[in-house]
């Protein structure tokens, strides 16, 4: 990922987490990623337009719970939050995706953004994740947020 694209992704994600979920983040160097961090939710959202690609977010269920609770103004232990745990992460990737793509907008045509989907992360993918250069790793409230942006075409950020 180009350094400018990493910066846009990192800054946008951090700003949105701070503004909507009240979570402050800091960038984590790739070399600090050790063994697989346990259970994680894998959220993905595709887009097409002047550029095509996919946003991806790996996050722990606890982080999903915190994001959902803060988005909704509920306590993290609330039954409603627990029933809609992944929805917070899906909404987060949706907001981030729209804002990041706005930075690449050249005014030619609109983007069509897919519906975010969530699944359980396959730990067998961890080594590929650690070695990927297409990611940004952030830590907020002692929780990891691993973001990916794969694109076809060249962003004008």
Describe the crossing of helices 61-72 and 3-21 by its angle, rounded to 10 degrees.
60
Per-residue pLDDT, 57:
97
pLDDT confidence tier of residue 74, bands split at 50, 70 and 90: confident
pLDDT at 155 over 70: no
Rounded CA gap, 66 and 100, in Å?
Answer: 23
**Is the pLDDT reported for residue 66 higher than 80?**
yes
Every domain of the chain and the residues it spans: 3-152
CA 14 – CA 9 distance, rounded (Å): 8
Question: How is domain 3-152 classified at the architecture level of CATH?
Answer: 3-Layer(aba) Sandwich (3.40)
pTM confidence score: 0.88
Task: Provide the 8-state DSSP code for 111.
Answer: -
Mean pLDDT check: name the lowest of 31-35, 103-107, 132-136, 142-146.
103-107
Q: Which of 32-41, 50-59, 145-154 has the highest mean pLDDT?
A: 50-59
Task: Please say if the pLDDT value at position 54 is more than 90.
Answer: yes
Asked if residue 27 has pLDDT above 90, the reply is: yes
Higher pLDDT, residue 57 or 134: 57
Residue 147: is it exposed, middle or buried by C-beta count within 10 angstroms (0-12/13-18/19+)? buried
Judge whether residue 134 has pLDDT over 90. Answer: no
Average of per-residue pLDDT values in the chain: 88
Read off the pLDDT of residues 80-118 as tens digits, 9 standing for 90 and up: 877 888 888 999 999 999 999 988 766 678 899 999 999
- Give me the pLDDT at residue 44, please: 98
Average pLDDT over residues 35-58: 91
């Amino acid at each position: 990922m180009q350094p400018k694209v990493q910066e846009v992704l990192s800054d946008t994600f951090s700003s949105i987490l701070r503004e909507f979920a009240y979570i402050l983040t800091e960038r984590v160097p790739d070399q600090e990623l050790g063994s697989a961090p346990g259970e994680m939710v894998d959220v993905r959202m595709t887009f097409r337009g002047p550029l095509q690609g996919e946003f991806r977010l790996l996050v722990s269920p606890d982080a999903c719970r915190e994001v959902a609770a803060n988005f909704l103004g509920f306590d993290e232990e609330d039954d409603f939050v627990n029933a809609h745990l992944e929805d917070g992460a899906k909404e987060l990737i949706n907001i981030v995706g729209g804002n990041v793509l706005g930075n690449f907008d050249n005014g030619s045509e609109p983007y069509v953004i897919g519906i975010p989907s969530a699944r359980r992360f396959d730990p067998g993918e961890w080594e590929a994740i650690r070695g990927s250069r297409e990611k940004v790793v952030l830590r907020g409230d002692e929780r990891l947020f691993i973001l990916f942006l794969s694109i076809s075409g060249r962003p004008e950020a």
